[in-house]
Amino acid sequence: MVFAPHTPAEIETMLKTIGITSIETLFETIPVRANDECFAALPTGQPEMEVAAECRRLAGRNRGVHHYRSFLGAGAYEHFIPAAVDHILRRGEFFTAYTPYQAEASQGTLQAIYEYQSLICALTGLDVTNASLYDGASAAAEAVILAVRHTGRTRVALARGLHPAYRRVIETYTRHLNIQLVELPFAQGVTDSEALGQIGLEHDLAAIVVSQPNAFGCIEPAETVARLARDRGALGIAVVNPLSLGVLKPPGEWEADIAVGDGQPMGIPLSFGGPYVGFMSVRKSLARRLPGRLVGRTLDRKGRTGFVLTLQTREQHIRRERATSNICTNQALCALAVTVYLSLVGKEGLRKVALLNLDRAHYLYGRLQALDGISAAWEQPFFNEFVLRLPTSAETVVRQMKKRGFLAGWPLSRWSTDWDERLLLVCATETKSQRDCDDYVQALADVLKVKQTSCL
Amino acid sequence: MELIFEKSAAGRSGVTLPDPIVADANPSRWLPAEALRAQPARLPELTELDVVRHFTRLSQQNFSVDTHFYPLGSCTMKYNPRLCEDVARLDGFASLHPLEDADDTQEILAVMAALEDWLGAICGMDAFTLNPAAGAQGEFCGMSIIQAYHVHREGKSRPTVLVPESAHGTNPASAVLSGMTVETIRSLADGTTDLEDLERHLDNQVAGMMLTNPNTVGVFETRIVEIAEKVHSVGGQMYYDGANLNAIAGLARPGDMGFDVVHLNLHKTFSTPHGGGGPGSGPVGVKSHLEPFLPVPCLVRSADGRLFLTEDRPLSIGRLSAFQGNVGVAIRAYAYILLHGLKGLRRNSEMAVLNANYLRARLRDHFEIPFPQLCMHEFVISLNEIAKKTGVKAGDFAKRLLDYGFHAPTVYFPMIVAECMLIEPTETETRATLDAFAEALIGVKGEAETDPEKVKGAPGTMPVARLDEYRAATQLDVSYFG
């Protein structure tokens, strides 16, 4: 397929205008050319209908969360996405526009980002949200770097309940920057707030990173952790599931200084891991340290309200090696999905979606608890995920549940062999009906050959 | 236009949701009071129609490739086939959870493996990772790989990265994030790297050199092989910023020029429209000696041909994202390459370079063209003389072009040319569009000479004009909630 539009006659005319006789002349300055053999691995171009058929064939053989009934979460979540979200994303004026450097020709994108920033502020209870980052994990890493630069200190404490992949991304981002990562004490699925006082974080602490809910679904003593950070002159960094903020106390109210997370649960399909969208909200005093783009409302020369990219002197295209981050793009289209999603569900809707997550997860949890030999790994309040202790290997159970049509969850031992192989992280979002939950319980009872002793 | 919050009316909703299972479902039933939000988040309340109309109207305030010519240098704003959008949305791709077993995901893994192979062939690299989420993360990834390589070989890192003064701003910023300091190499009058200046900077402290080729003034670095040899002679590694691959895909390969690492911007060269600023994808390719340092997870094939993702790479630089990168963007690139094949890719590059040279030729009698040679896929014009004579600056030209229905080219970049415009027409535009754009630019020049105030006051046809950026930065208003 060739999208270039020129006819041979046009090409002749154009070459004449340039003052050359062949296209080949344009490439004469390249000293090392590649022949067809170099490109032997490339396919032959195919007509659109054949490519479409091939992609349909491939897609049809994968088995995703619509093929199974999925109770798998662990950092990416199946949620209801209203149809209107994708219809807006498919507006060519949005998805084929560039970064809004020319503000006059980009008011649509700019206002949408301003609205996104406002909506995320409403969720996090903090003052300033940037135009978005790649994903939740890189947003967490950027937050750590921000805190280190802001405080001039080099130690960062991570709660053990932080998603292990987020921890690894933070490690990658901080490896070359003379930052020491330490771990907070952990007990019963959450940060051990009683042991916090004794851990020798008196000196040089830049930030504490705590996840709410944490990677095991548990509600952390986040307020206590944030207070510890404050007492040490460090920043409190909250990693939050934004959807949970429909019911959970916003980080701004529990004294976090920075909130980051992944917007995927709010209108973005799973897509095998991306593209998602990272968000970052901060207190006003940290605004000038934000990484990435930021949209501001201002006036034009006739006094009309409009929107521009602002505080650009923080950014790489101006500040180069002294920029707050190397990030160039945001995830504008994914941020737009979040904006449309939150506008559709609205004030009551978000609360209700979050409540439905609590409802499904707790209903399922209650019924599973009633199965012989199954117990909760930890007795903690949770949002839409919880860890079960099974009587046998979680891997085996997951395999057998799949034969019954379920993605049963995430064995914690896949994150680290330090975890007991019987621990299984189970997630139930609003997408699961009572029937789905009941069938899951029945299937698990069958797999484990245990009886259901009672009903809720 | 009114903000979405200003259209809200209490009690409206744009969704219908099921009922709870549990009869008296309430957050306080399950969660301690101190963990709960006291008031609902202040989200707007609207119907579906309200929301659709609001965002449709917003979209109509944008320029976009679908509606306007967008000759934005260094950004490759070409038209992308609609099929690529459709295939990324196929349920068998879009509904895959990133942690699903390889058994359930062989075909998406096959798409990723094929794309890695194809990008390897296009770039002359031995191995690719699709993990980086965008070009800048690709740069960080590539520079971290180079640093890990030096540490592995020499027991310590190398502190310096060489970057030409014409480089993208991300290059120095990424180098710093990778723990290095940047030394700038001068350019010659023809826009290419000054080899003598390069020599002065070369020693065993140099981790590597970052280069875009064709470079950011649209000129091919003809002495690239020599540059690579010099950098290699002190043990440095050559990093290729793939922002400008659209000029040479299918014709020449960074790997053959002596580069050791490349990053690509899939959203520039291989489909995926820019989305108003993302998402992108920034795959990184390396020569075999750097493969052990690639980020995890790595896509590998077992003896029986099964594909799976592994983290078992002891020398890896680590993870860049929670999962395996922007797979949805990779699918679009897969479909794009399958549609085009080698011949199509090569033809696109040829046409991109033809269009740039044609437009350049249309403008050369009217504007100062600082670099004399034929250009690649983009070229620079300087408005410095006009600015001195009339007071109309490149930024004013940019604003006035909007009134003519054209998105402005990139202005004030590359930084080595005063009052410059960097113009990249791409391969998908017709000659008629290029002619119309050339005439518009020449027309604005005429206006600058006869009626400079008109140009300085532009645009006159947009919903707003000349927003007060100083006010935006000093009276910061970045949220409806203050």
- Residue percentage of chain A with pLDDT more than 90: 90
A 34-93 residues inside an 8 A Cβ radius of B:
34, 36, 38-46, 48, 51-52, 54-56, 58-67, 70, 72, 74-76, 78, 80, 82, 84, 86-88, 90-93
Q: Which residue of A has its CA nearest to B10?
A: A347
- In this prediction, residue B4 carries a pLDDT of 98
- In this prediction, residue A197 carries a pLDDT of 76
Sort out which chain A residues have CB atoms less than 8 A from B273's CB and list them. 95-96
ipTM: 0.97
Taking alpha carbons only, the member of A202, A269, A264, A258 closest to residue A235 is A258
The pLDDT of A261-265, averaged and rounded, is 98
pLDDT tens-digit map of A378-391:
999 999 999 999 99
- In this prediction, residue A430 carries a pLDDT of 98
pLDDT tens-digit map of A119-159:
999 999 999 999 999 999 999 999 999 999 999 999 999 99
Contact between B31 and A248 using a beta-carbon 8 Å cutoff: yes
Sort out which chain B residues have CB atoms less than 8 A from A14's CB and list them. 354-355, 358, 431
pLDDT tens-digit map of A207-233:
999 999 999 999 999 999 999 999 999
- In this prediction, residue A1 carries a pLDDT of 55
Query: Is B189 in CB contact (< 8 Å) with chain A?
Result: no
| Residue A328 reports pLDDT greater than 90 | no
The pLDDT of A262-280, averaged and rounded, is 98
Query: Is B275 in CB contact (< 8 Å) with chain A?
Result: yes
- In this prediction, residue A93 carries a pLDDT of 97
Sort out which chain A residues have CB atoms less than 8 A from B344's CB and list them. 1-2, 45
Q: Which part of chain A has CATH 3.90.1150.10?
A: 69-76+352-448
Cis amide linkage into residue A251, ω under 30° from 0? no
According to the CATH classification, is domain B348-456 in 3.40.50.300? no
A329 pLDDT band, cuts 50/70/90, is confident
Could you please state the CATH topology (level 3) that the domain comprising A83-340 is classified under.
Answer: Aspartate Aminotransferase; domain 2 (3.40.640)
Q: Which part of chain B has CATH 3.40.640.10?
A: 83-338
- In this prediction, residue A456 carries a pLDDT of 45
Give the pTM: 0.97
pLDDT in tens, chain B (482 residues): 999 999 999 999 999 999 999 999 999 999 999 999 999 999 999 999 999 999 999 999 999 999 999 999 989 999 999 999 999 999 999 999 999 999 999 999 999 999 999 999 999 999 999 999 999 999 999 999 999 999 999 999 999 999 999 888 889 999 999 999 999 999 999 999 999 999 999 999 999 999 999 999 999 999 999 999 999 999 999 999 999 999 999 999 999 999 999 999 998 999 878 888 899 999 999 999 999 999 999 999 999 999 999 999 999 999 999 999 999 999 999 999 999 999 999 999 999 999 999 999 999 999 999 999 999 999 999 999 999 999 999 999 999 999 999 999 999 998 889 999 999 999 999 999 999 999 999 999 999 999 999 999 999 999 999 999 999 999 999 999 98
Token readout for A233 is: 């002159």
Could you please state the CATH topology (level 3) that the domain comprising B83-338 is classified under.
Answer: Aspartate Aminotransferase; domain 2 (3.40.640)
Cβ(A253)–Cβ(A272) below 8 Å: no
Cβ(B263)–Cβ(B141) below 8 Å: yes
pLDDT tens-digit map of A167-181:
999 999 999 999 999
CATH homologous superfamily of A69-76+352-448: Aspartate Aminotransferase, domain 1 (3.90.1150.10)
- In this prediction, residue A337 carries a pLDDT of 98
Q: Which residue of A has its CA nearest to B74?
A: A98
Quote the mean pLDDT of chain A.
95
- In this prediction, residue B191 carries a pLDDT of 92
CB pairs under 8 A between A and B: 711
- In this prediction, residue B104 carries a pLDDT of 98
